[in-house]
Every structure is written in C-alpha cells, then in structure tokens.
Amino acid sequence: MSTNESDAIVLVERVTKVYQQGRVEVRALRGLDLQVRSGELTALYGPSGSGKTTLLNLIGALDHPTSGRVLIEGRELGLLGRRELSHLRRDRIGFVFQAYNLIPVLTARENVEFVMQVQGVPAAERREKAIAILDEVGLRGLEDRRPAEMSGGQQQRVAVARAIVSKPALVLADEPTANLDSKTSDGLMELFTALNEHHNTTFVIATHDQRVIAYARRIVHMLDGRIVDDVGQDAA
C-alpha cells in the first residue's frame, strides 16, 4: 500500500484470528494487512463468514488477534492494559451496531448523553451537545422520545449521534443498514458521507449491502479471511 505507517489512523499487520468451535479450528482472518488514513470512508465488503466483523472487532479493541498486531493512532492495542483499552474505546472510537444497542428506558437525548456522562462531561454541556448533534442527524424535536417510540431509521440515527458526539478519531459501523429499508439506508449513508466530508470523521463500515458500497470512497473486498481487492485507497 502507498499509505505510510505514520499516516495511518488504523494499522493492521499480519493479523490472524483463529477460533475453536468444539474440535473444529476456524481461521477467521489469515495474515491480513490493512491501513486506513484519517478522513477515509472505507467499506469492508464481503459475504457472511468473510471475516469483516471479526476485523472490525479487532480494530475496535473488542477482541484481540491470535497473531499479528493492530495499532490505532500509533498505539499498539496488544501492549495496552485493560484500563487503557477501555479509555481508548470510550474516547477515540465510536461504535454503530446493527442492533442499535440503545438503552430502552432512556430518551434519545439521554442515550446520546450517556457516553459523555461516563467521560465526566458536566450535565449542562452534555445536554447542549446532545441536542445539537441530534439536530445535525435530523432528529430535531425527537429528543425526548424513547427508542420504542421511534422508527428503526430514527433509532439508528440516535446510535450515530451517540457514536460521534464526542468527536472520536474513528467510527466503526457493523452492518448499519441491515435492518433498514432502501430509502432509510440511503439517508443513513448520506449522513455518514456528510459527517465524513464536513468533520473529516473516519469511517470503517462492515457490510454486504451494495447500497453502502455506492457511497464508500474506498472498498476493501474480503473473502475467506483475506483481502482480495482494495479499490480507492488513494482517494482520500
């Protein structure tokens, strides 16, 4: 790749991931290398079982590789302690999950405020930032609704607002359009594109959805735990 190591917000080197399922050894990743620069909007594209979610979990410090190393902003995750990893996930990485993972008893605003509360942000500042980001993602007037009172697309936008409100260096999204219809999916990807362009937010999105691919500036095609194609890596 042409990306220099010093330019990479994400650096994955010779990474393997092996799971044991009973007596069967499953090689989810096979000596994989990947670099992502700040400001890229990258799609990890491939069918179920290709390794894209496994890779996303390693980048997000939710799991660790069997061999190889993963660096975020130059920090090797395997050398960090549990507390350092927790702070890295809290402060530098935003997560958007397929199942939204909103807290059902909290309002949209309270869900967005939750991460900031953990970070120790004062209440008045939390409220102001949460309302502003919900407005930016198109949810003005819905701040006091709970997840059950919102559509799937609205809930996913709350999840996006929660992921980006603290301005993380990197946002990871795992199949974010899987539960959305085509119109809502387009709206979500237009939102990702706007955030990428206006705030230089770095996105890595695991998907098998062709609608997502249409918006990605870089497409990393995965199959059987390997990268088989990488299109657009010099576009950023």
> Which pLDDT belongs to residue 86?
92
> Strand runs (DSSP E) across 73-175, as ranges?
75-76, 93-96, 170-174
Residue 2 pLDDT = 43
Any idea which fold 5-100+168-231 has? Rossmann fold (3.40.50)
Strands (DSSP E) found in 50-139: 67-72, 75-76, 93-96
In the prediction, which pLDDT does 233 show?
Answer: 53
Which of 8, 35, 7, 32 lies closest to 18, judged by CA? 32
List the structure tokens of 80. 């960090």
What are the φ and ψ backbone dihedral angles of 230, each rounded to 5 degrees?
-145, 100
Pick the closest to residue 162 from 119, 216, 207, 208 (CA basis).
Answer: 119
CA distance 209 to 47: 9
Q: Helices H, strands E: what count in the chain?
A: 7, 10
- What digits encode the pLDDT tens for the residues 17-55? 999 888 889 999 999 999 999 999 999 999 999 999 999
Find where tokens 């409220």 sit.
Answer: 127
What 3-state class would DSSP assign to 34?
strand
Contact 234, 2 (CB under 8 A): yes
The Cα 218–Cα 102 span in angstroms is: 29
pTM of the predicted model, to two decimals?
0.89
User: Strand order in 75-76's β-sheet?
Assistant: 24-37, 8-21, 67-72, 75-76
Model pLDDT, residue 114: 92
Average pLDDT, consecutive stretches of 10 residues, N- to C-terminus, the chain (236 residues): 66 95 90 95 94 96 96 95 93 88 95 91 94 91 95 91 90 90 88 89 93 93 95 60
Q: Are strands 67-72 and 8-21 parallel, antiparallel or unpaired?
A: antiparallel
> What ranges do the domains of the chain cover?
5-100+168-231
Contact 211, 177 (CB under 8 A): yes
How far, in Å, CA of 58 to CA of 204, rounded?
12
